[in-house]
Amino acid sequence: MKQTGAWLAVRALEALGIQYTFGIPGVHNTELYDELNSSAQITPILVTHEGGAAFMADGVSRTSGQTGTLVIVPAAGATHAASGIGEAFLDGIPMLVICGGIRTDLDKRYQLHELDQHAFLKPLTKASFLVTSHAEIVPTLFKAWEIAHSAEPGPVFVEIPVNLQMFPGESDDLPPLPVIAKPQRAPAAEIRRAVEMLLAARHPALFLGWGARDAFAQTRAIAEFLQAPVATTLQGLSVFSAAHPLHTGFSFGAAAVPAARNAFADCDCLLAVGTRFAEIATGSFGVKVPANLIHADINPKVFNANYPAAVALEGDAAAVLAALLDELQRVGAGRTANTALHARIQQDKAAYNNEWLSHDSGGKVNPAVFFNALRAALPDDAIAVVDDGNHTYLTAELFPVRQSKALIVPTDFNSMGYAVPAAIGAKLANPEREVFAIVGDGAFTMTCMEIVSATRLGIGLVYYVFHDGELSQIAQAQEIPFNRKPCTALGAIDFSGVAIATGADYIPVAANADVSAAIARAREIAAAGRPVIVDLVMDYSKRTAFTLGAVKTNFKRFPLAQRLRMVTRALRRKITG
């Protein structure tokens, strides 16, 4: 029996368990949208911008077992979505990108939206496919889903020409569903060698990235067996509970908080899991990695890229760590609780928090006051969606994350504008959990109109906007070497107008005394199914450990002549004003 390509594509998506698609209808995908509208399983979500669609799909994939899926128009739809696709690619997030295509049954050039999309998206995707027949549609979508979830996950692009969508054609029955196998491939000899190194170490430690997100139990058991302190990458903030006495914080080098710097100071064997040792995770490569590095990752390309590994364990983190734990327990005895280490970590955390609380915020909201109140108010399973900016590192240093996948953040691609739409995706995928966003005012202005989508869908979300009037992460990076901050002032923005325009509620917060009541009220509004903007006049005068450490690390790396030039320039500008 002949079927249209649109019918075949939607049946394939249903078989793959897709529940939501994100995008905007256009000339080249209206057939797909018409078929999606008839699906009893899939809900197509209209967005205000395809970039928001990609971030929503990302939020779905990061916080659930579902696959974030786009249905977009070619050319402009693909370029608009590119930031979110690129974010998913560099962060290892599975995503299906289904795009309409120009007619392939015409002998005409310069059609509307005609573009070599595959050349454009090749650097941003794991694979791309151009479907050329009805018989290819379902197998191609199944293969795309398999690739998106295999090994290190990522986005896969599929172009379905509009003429295939519109017209009936011959196709086979649905093939078997793809199955993703994540075997542990690390040889037993390498597992034994890693165990020998860990047991021989006097001060072993763990460094965990996003790749360890499904190994929550294994990492905890290994840390407790070894009594080893644990630090995480930025993207991996939720892979090890901050309530655990061995948790130290984000990163472990010069740009880390004191608890991590002190706990890792004498590290003589490091077990790193699911991390690339990328620039942000290492504070601009400011960490000191011991020679005895055991590096576990599903992607072998990350081994020895920045720091040489004494032992490289390729495979899925949960499987590799299960084998590692079994061997540890077979040949060694677990260490007794290192109460002195636990106490030092807790003391360092408390001292750092008190340092922030004692900072004079000049009548504005002190970040530590806000995060302490937020943590006290929220259940542990609430999902934090954090954007890119100074607020990112404030969150990383001051907000304890206690459950797996309870915080998501853009990292290596570093897309500003992520949080507003990604929070919508996270809430759609997790309707039973509270979802909120932490977003700077600069990032908020990029995608704030996407709140329209949340209002239309009746999605209750809280957007905590850190309002300081600058692109602060860059402004602080400018101020230190340049003694001025060109092109980072945002000017006066009245976010109450955004609330009116998008149908959200609005709560202004000007001082510390207003914080707790504002959080309580915002949660009530969100629980009733409405988005709410909490406009916090935030004090950014105190710099994060990450900012201070990363600037120092980069400065020390410059040639001496350049350091002298930069210091002289800054001093001259300070004197002359």
In sequence order, what are the residues at sequence separation of 6 or more whose Cβ sits closer than 8 angstroms to the Cβ of residue 467?
441, 493, 495, 535, 536, 537, 538
What is the average per-residue pLDDT within 116-131? 96
Please give the Cα distance from 374 to 360 (Å, whole number).
Answer: 20
Please give the Cα distance from 439 to 427 (Å, whole number).
Answer: 16
CA distances from 232 to 236, 324, 356, 448 (A): 5, 19, 21, 30
The second-level CATH assignment, the architecture, of 3-169 is 3-Layer(aba) Sandwich (3.40)
> Which amino acid belongs to residue 196?
E
Please give the Cα distance from 52 to 437 (Å, whole number).
Answer: 14
> Domain-by-domain residue ranges, the chain?
3-169, 188-342, 359-546
53 within 8 A of 61, measured Cβ to Cβ: no
Q: What is the pLDDT of residue 577?
A: 63
| Whether the domain at 3-169 and the domain at 188-342 fall into the same CATH topology | yes
End-to-end CA distance of the chain: 78
Please give the Cα distance from 183 to 191 (Å, whole number).
Answer: 15
Per-residue pLDDT of 195-208, as tens digits, reads 999 999 999 999 99
Q: What is the pLDDT of residue 478?
A: 66
What is the average per-residue pLDDT within 370-384? 98
Out of 3.30.9.10, 2.60.40.1120, 3.40.50.1220, 3.30.1450.10, select the CATH number for domain 188-342.
3.40.50.1220
> Which string of b and e fits 205-219 if b means at least 16 CB within 10 Å?
bbbbbbbbbbbbebb
Strand pairing report for 168-169 and 3-4? antiparallel
**Radius of gyration over every alpha carbon of the chain, rounded to an integer in angstroms:** 25
> Which amino acid belongs to residue 239?
V
Q: What is the pLDDT of residue 469?
A: 67
What dihedral angle (degrees, nearest 10) is formed by the CA atoms of 477, 478, 482, 488? -170
Neighbours of 1 (CB within 10 A): 5
The mean of the pLDDT values for the chain is 94
Percent of the chain with pLDDT over 90: 83
Please give the Cα distance from 202 to 196 (Å, whole number).
Answer: 12
Identify the band that residue 183 occupies on the pLDDT scale cut at 50, 70 and 90. confident
Nearest CA to 364 out of 541, 543, 490 is that of 541
Please give the Cα distance from 572 to 577 (Å, whole number).
Answer: 8
Per-residue pLDDT of 276-321, as tens digits, reads 999 999 999 999 999 999 999 999 999 999 999 999 999 999 999 9
Which residue did the predictor score with more confidence, 563 or 530? Answer: 530
Nearest CA to 348 out of 264, 228, 238 is that of 264
Which residue did the predictor score with more confidence, 443 or 482? Answer: 443
Q: What is the pLDDT of residue 471?
A: 65
Q: Is 279 exposed, middle or buried (0-12, 13-18, 19+ CB in 10 A)?
A: middle
Please give the Cα distance from 473 to 470 (Å, whole number).
Answer: 9
3-state secondary structure 474-515: HHHHHHHHHCCCCCCECCCCCHHHHHHHHCCEEEEECCHHHH
Q: What is the pLDDT of residue 132?
A: 96
Best mean pLDDT range from 1-5, 106-110, 328-332, 449-453: 449-453
Percent of the chain with pLDDT over 70: 97
Q: Which helix (H) or strand (E) holds 99?
A: strand 95-101
Per-residue pLDDT of 133-152, as tens digits, reads 999 999 999 999 999 999 99
Per-residue pLDDT of 73-95, as tens digits, reads 999 999 999 999 999 999 999 99
The second-level CATH assignment, the architecture, of 359-546 is 3-Layer(aba) Sandwich (3.40)
The structure's pTM equals: 0.94
180 within 8 A of 149, measured Cβ to Cβ: yes
Q: What is the pLDDT of residue 561?
A: 80
3-state secondary structure 71-90: EECCCHHHHHHHHHHHHHHH
| Phi, psi values for residue 155, rounded to 5° | -80, 150
Please give the Cα distance from 148 to 125 (Å, whole number).
Answer: 9
Query: Which pair of structure tokens corresponds to residue 102?
Result: 């120009």
| Phi, psi values for residue 411, rounded to 5° | -125, -85
Please give the Cα distance from 574 to 577 (Å, whole number).
Answer: 5
Eight-state DSSP code of residue 301: G
Per-residue pLDDT of 453-499, as tens digits, reads 999 999 999 999 999 867 677 767 666 667 677 777 777 899 999 99
